[in-house]
Amino acid sequence: MIKKENIRNFSIIAHIDHGKSTLADRLIETTGLISKRDLTEQMLDNMDIEKERGITIKLQAVRLNYVAKDGEEYILNLIDTPGHVDFNYEVSRSLAACEGAILVVDASQGIEAQTIANVYLALENDLEIVPVINKIDLPSASPDAVKEEIENIIGIDAQEAPLISAKENINIVDVLEAIVHQVPAPTGDEKAPLKALIFDSYYDQYRGVIASVRIVEGSVKAGMGIRMMSVGEDFEVDEVGHFEHGLMPTQELRAGEVGYINAGIKNVRDSRVGDTITSSENPASEPLPGYKQVTPMVYCGIYPADGARYEDLKEALAKLQLNDAALLYEQETSVALGFGFRCGFLGLLHMEIVQERLEREFNLDLVTTAPSVIYQIVKVDGTQMEVDNPTNLPDVTEIKEMKEPIVLATLMLPSDYLGAVMELCQERRGEYINMEYIEANRVSLHYLLPLNEIIYDFYDALKSRTRGYASLDYELKEYRPSDLVKLDILLKGEAVDALSFIVHREKAATRGRAIAKKLKESIPRQMFEIPIQAAIGSKIIARETISALRKDVLAKCYGGDITRKRKLLEKQKEGKKRMRQVGSVEVPQEAFMAVLKLDS
């Protein structure tokens, strides 16, 4: 029987690369949950893509037993959080399940934008922040400067912050002691009606949905009837337990504890992050605060490169969605690309991850169209509509007003790059809000930016202009009326629906020219001339021409070396298979993404 006073529920907040996963590994290893030998590097991130990108997408939890220096045994529940702006809401829910958060800061890099955003989320949830300074073994480490930075920016005392190296296993016990002494024990009435916060849920193909929960009030055990308060569905609990080395069943979960509930739920949509689980028989009167249904901000079309694989793509999306409540998709048809899906994502990273998983885990070859945000349209007849696909935009004559989403962006960067970044934000129609020096040579910059300027190549441009030193975070601020137009791209006089996009009128000409040029580079010459035009309505604003191929002949035959010729032809044949036929023009897959790679 665990004493509530000896439970500590905490998360780790860190910027990508600052060592969160390594620290988590060390905590697990030091408390002896898993021997060093069994510890696969960075065990909390267990999807391949996460490991490769060094980021956490799906959060998880783990329960550690620790005998502290005061001789008491403590239960430490580490709740992992995703480390990216796209998953802000999931982060906020996992923080809501904790009483404290370890803030890991790189001893040489200092605090980054994303870290601050998460610290604020933690503070909003009344979490105790425990600063930890990592990578002190690096020659460039300057822990004192970083301490000062933490105090200046976040306003918490960092003088006693453990100085550690997760990689070199230095001072890890200090972190454990800090958790025990600084993070408050959970409170909550075990006798009250059940209130359990879902902070994660994933689909297991054998057991159905496993919901990760923090019991805030009351208790839950197998056989009990439960209700998802927002979704309104009832289920019967099959099993409850803790996260140890895998799932460890237990009799009961009580207020203050972190664990899982398995209740024969078939879809993560019925077990949404942020929802409150209560008892069917003795329901709580109010759900826990803070639930919202996550809505996609970015949309794009996803098509199988080989039209015959439409059904495979459909099946793959269905499987991914079982585990990803934020992924939306519905069937759409494109004249150019055939049958495919319009998919909604939390952000660009989420989009890239889904594409990558479809290609890797399901072995699909995809054609994706340029991403779009949701535009609000007020029509002349007074009705309103939302458009996430430029193709569905009504005729100009029917549109009274168009509104686009504006985000509040926070950029943190070395002051050397201030000029370059401000210039980039101006180019992207940014509206300067303010700026503050966090340190002598580090700046936090705030801009209002149209989301549709960020989703193309903003990250890439930011990275290349600051040599990777700037970080970005953003949140949706509002919808604003804007002078937007639909830009069509015509190949051989025919508009290609999959290449249309919506852009601000002032930028239409530049962007149209850039895209026409890019397409000229990416579409190979064919046996006829191919005019590429960019048009707003019937007005052509840019034109390029791909001249006709005059010959396609292999003059020399390499003596008797037919094999060489054959190999050459086979390679060409493979290349052709990766083309889409648009009217009479063969268009390579990359061309559909041309709009994304214009780095200006």
Q: Where are the alpha helices (DSSP H) in 412-561?
A: 418-427, 451-454, 458-465, 505-522
Name residue 572's beta-bridge partners.
Answer: none
Which of 280, 333, 576, 600 is in the footprint of another protein by CB under 8 A?
576
Q: Which is nearer to another protein, 3 or 564 (CB)?
A: 564
Name residue 203's beta-bridge partners.
Answer: 209
Q: Which is nearer to another protein, 204 or 570 (CB)?
A: 570
Give the residue among 97, 92, 150 at the shortest CA–CA distance from 121: 92
Q: Which is nearer to another protein, 461 or 587 (CB)?
A: 587
Per-residue contact flags (x/-) with another protein for residues 479 to 518, judged by CB under 8 A: ----------------------------------------
- Kindly give, in sequence order, each residue whose CB lies less than 8 Å from that of residue 244, ignoring residues fewer than 6 positions away: 33, 62, 63
CA–CA separation, 263 and 172 (whole Å): 37
- Distance in Å, CB of 559 to another protein, minimum: 7
Q: Which is nearer to another protein, 380 or 562 (CB)?
A: 562
- Distance in Å, CB of 492 to another protein, minimum: 17
- Distance in Å, CB of 339 to another protein, minimum: 21
Q: Which is nearer to another protein, 396 or 568 (CB)?
A: 568
Cβ-contact 451, 404 below 8 angstroms? yes
- Distance in Å, CB of 587 to another protein, minimum: 17
Cβ-contact 457, 170 below 8 angstroms? no
- Distance in Å, CB of 573 to another protein, minimum: 6
- Kindly give, in sequence order, each residue whose CB lies less than 8 Å from that of residue 569, ignoring residues fewer than 6 positions away: none
Give the residue among 503, 504, 546 at the shortest CA–CA distance from 527: 546
# residues contacting another protein (CB under 8 A): 23
Please list every residue from 249 through 278 that binds another protein, using CB under 8 A.
none
Return the structure tokens found at 544. Answer: 């390029």
- Distance in Å, CB of 98 to another protein, minimum: 54
Give the residue among 117, 49, 45 at the shortest CA–CA distance from 88: 117
Please list every residue from 530 through 569 that binds another protein, using CB under 8 A.
549-557, 559-563, 565-566, 569
- Distance in Å, CB of 42 to another protein, minimum: 40
CA–CA separation, 150 and 125 (whole Å): 19
- Distance in Å, CB of 544 to another protein, minimum: 18
Q: Which is nearer to another protein, 440 or 555 (CB)?
A: 555
Q: Which is nearer to another protein, 525 or 597 (CB)?
A: 525
Cβ-contact 457, 518 below 8 angstroms? no
CA–CA separation, 373 and 298 (whole Å): 5
Q: Which is nearer to another protein, 232 or 559 (CB)?
A: 559
> Which of these segments, 121-129, 248-256, 464-472, 572-580, binds another protein (CB under 8 A)?
572-580
Give just the sign of the alpha carbon dihedral 150, 154, 159, 160.
negative
Strand, coil or helix: what is 187?
coil
Q: Which is nearer to another protein, 330 or 552 (CB)?
A: 552
Residue 308 binds another protein (CB under 8 A): no
Return the structure tokens found at 356. Answer: 């990558």
- Distance in Å, CB of 547 to another protein, minimum: 8
Q: Which is nearer to another protein, 143 or 524 (CB)?
A: 524
Please list every residue from 137 through 176 that binds another protein, using CB under 8 A.
none
Length of the chain: 600
Q: Which is nearer to another protein, 539 or 551 (CB)?
A: 551
CA-to-CA separations, 108 to 28, 104, 146, 204, 226, in angstroms, rounded: 25, 12, 8, 40, 48
For 176, the enclosing helix (H) or strand (E) is helix 172-182
CA–CA separation, 519 and 588 (whole Å): 10
Name residue 300's beta-bridge partners.
Answer: 343
Per-residue contact flags (x/-) with another protein for residues 511 to 530, judged by CB under 8 A: ----------------x---
- Distance in Å, CB of 307 to another protein, minimum: 15
Cβ-contact 348, 456 below 8 angstroms? no
E strands present in 514-573: 530-536, 539-546
Which of 475, 570, 584, 599 is in the footprint of another protein by CB under 8 A?
570
- Distance in Å, CB of 407 to another protein, minimum: 45
Residues binding another protein (CB under 8 A): 527, 549-557, 559-563, 565-566, 569-570, 572-573, 576-577
